[in-house]
Amino acid sequence: MTVLTNHKKKDRRALIQDDETKALLSRSLQYLKSGYPIHYIGPSGAGKTSLALALAKKRNRPVMLIHGNHELNNKDLIGDFTGYTSKKVVDQYVRSVYKKDESVTETWRDGRLLEAVKNGYTLVYDEFTRSQPTTNNLFLSILEEGILPLYGSKLTEPFIRVHPAFSVIFTSNPAEYAGVYRTQDALLDRLITINVDYKDPEREALIVSEKANLVISEARAVTSMISELRSHCSNGYGPSLRASMMIATLAIESDIPIDGQNADFQRLCLDITAHTMSECLEEDQESVEKVIRDACENMRVVED
C-alpha cells in the first residue's frame, strides 16, 4: 500500500470537483439565480449533500441546514414561544408609599426556516422526503406566493414575506428507500429535479485517491471492487463511494495492504460491505460473504 505523503491531510467531507461536477454546479447555480429551487435526488452515498452544500457556498450567503425527519413540524420550522419573562418595577418616591408594576411576556424563538426566509439565507433541506408531506406544505406558499404562513404561532402577522435573496436546495433519496414519504406533486412541480447517481469507478478512484491520500492504482482497485459488488444488486444500489472511502482510510490507518488475497483486507471489506450486500442480495450470510470474498480476490492493483 502506498500513501501520498506529500499531501496535507484532506477534508474527507469536501467535494472533489471534476469537470462533470463543475458543470452540474454551474448549471444549478444559474437556475438558483433565476429563482428556481434545486432538488438533487439519488441513492445514498452518491454525494447529494456535498453537492448541495458546495452549491450553497457559491451563493456567498449564510447557509442554513435542515435535516428531514418524520418528527419535524411547524414549531421546528416556524418557531415557538419558549417560555415567559417577567419585569418588576418598584417606585418608592415617598418613603411610606410605593408603586409596583409587574409585566409578564412570552418569549418567542424563530424556527430555522423562518430565520432563513427572513434574512435571505441559502437553505439546504437535506433528505426532505423523510419529513411528513403536511410539514413540507409550507414550501408551497414560499415558492408560489413568496410568503411563509405563520400557522399556529399566535403572532399578530398571518405571514411574512420571503427575503428576495432567499433560496432553497433540496436533497432526497428515491421513493423506495425505507422511511421516505411520497412527495406531493404540487411541490415537485416547482423544483428543478436533477438525478445524482454513483460515479463510474475511475471518477470514484480519483476521489478516493485525493481524499484518502492513496495512490491512484490502489484507489482504482478499491473502487472497481465496490463497483463489482454494486453490479450484483438488482435494485441498482448496494455499497456506495462511502464504502470505498472507509476501506481506503481504515486500510491506511491500520496498515493493511490493499491486496485482495490478504486475510485482513478481506475481513475489512466484509465488515464494511456485508450488511449492505445482505440487504441487496437477500441471501444467507455465507452466500453474501462468498460474493464479497470473490470480489476481493478478483481485484488487481495495476500500476500506471
The per-residue pLDDT for range 133-179, each reduced to its tens digit, is 999 999 999 999 999 988 766 667 788 999 999 999 999 988 777 78
Alpha helices in the chain (DSSP H): 19-33, 48-58, 74-77, 112-119, 133-136, 138-144, 185-188, 201-212, 216-231, 241-253, 263-281, 285-298
Stretches where the chain sits below pLDDT 70 are: 1-16, 81-106, 108, 152-155, 235-236, 304
User: Residue 36 has what pLDDT?
Assistant: 95
Q: Which grid cell is 191?
A: 423544483
User: Residue 7 has what pLDDT?
Assistant: 43
Residue 85, helix vs strand vs coil:
strand
User: Residue 6 has what pLDDT?
Assistant: 43
Contact 58, 25 (CB under 8 A): yes
How many angstroms separate the CA atoms of 179 and 173, rounded?
10
User: Residue 218 has what pLDDT?
Assistant: 93
User: Residue 146 has what pLDDT?
Assistant: 94
Residue 63, helix vs strand vs coil:
strand
